[in-house]
């Protein structure tokens, strides 16, 4: 399914082009080898694990993971290994019996006004920026230069 025109419009001021976005069912995906799977609602996370085979320890709500990353450790010379260490740390610190219960849930704005769509887009934009920073920007040498460039997920 393509992104709705209202969603495309809401994403443009944030530098995101959704014109080629296509949604697909998780049941058709093999997420078993994923380093990270992120959902907006608890049902997204549950479906990714149950239907997509995503590793439970690497599957989070976006609003759950970002605050967990704020307190993680894991500096290494390899930024990807550091991100994996921080994800493992975040998984260990979340309370399994209350998995995501207090997390910020991003409600689907489908059928809502343009204002709601824009606020949702801004919320996602903020959380994704914080996610990338929490995984890769640890104030180590070189990260200051990365912060000055256009983020990798916005380069096109």
Q: pLDDT per residue over 91-116, tens digit each?
A: 988 865 455 566 778 988 888 888 99
Buried b (16+ CB within 10 A) or exposed e, 65-101: bbbbbeebebeeeebeebbbbbbeebbeebeeeebbe
What's the pTM? 0.78
Q: What is the average per-residue pLDDT within 18-43?
A: 89
- pLDDT for 96 equals 55
Q: How crowded is residue 13: how many other Cβ atoms within 10 Å of its Cβ?
A: 11
Q: What is the average per-residue pLDDT within 23-46?
A: 89
Q: pLDDT per residue over 53-79, tens digit each?
A: 999 999 999 999 999 998 776 667 888
Residue 24: pLDDT above 70? yes
């Amino acid at each position: 399914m393509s992104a709705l025109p209202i969603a495309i419009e809401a994403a443009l001021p944030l530098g995101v082009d959704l014109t080629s976005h296509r949604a697909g069912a998780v049941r058709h995906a093999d997420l078993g080898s994923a380093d990270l799977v992120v959902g907006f609602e608890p049902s997204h996370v549950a479906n990714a694990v149950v239907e997509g085979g995503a590793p439970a320890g690497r599957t989070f709500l976006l609003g759950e993971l970002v605050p967990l990353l704020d307190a993680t450790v894991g500096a290494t010379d390899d930024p990807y290994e550091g991100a994996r260490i921080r994800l493992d740390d975040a998984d260990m610190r979340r309370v399994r019996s209350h998995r995501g219960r207090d997390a910020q849930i991003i409600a689907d704005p489908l059928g809502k006004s343009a204002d709601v769509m824009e606020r949702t887009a801004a919320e996602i934009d903020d959380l994704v920026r914080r996610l990338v920073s929490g995984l890769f920007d640890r104030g180590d040498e070189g990260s200051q230069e990365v912060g000055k460039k256009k983020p990798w997920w916005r380069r096109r």
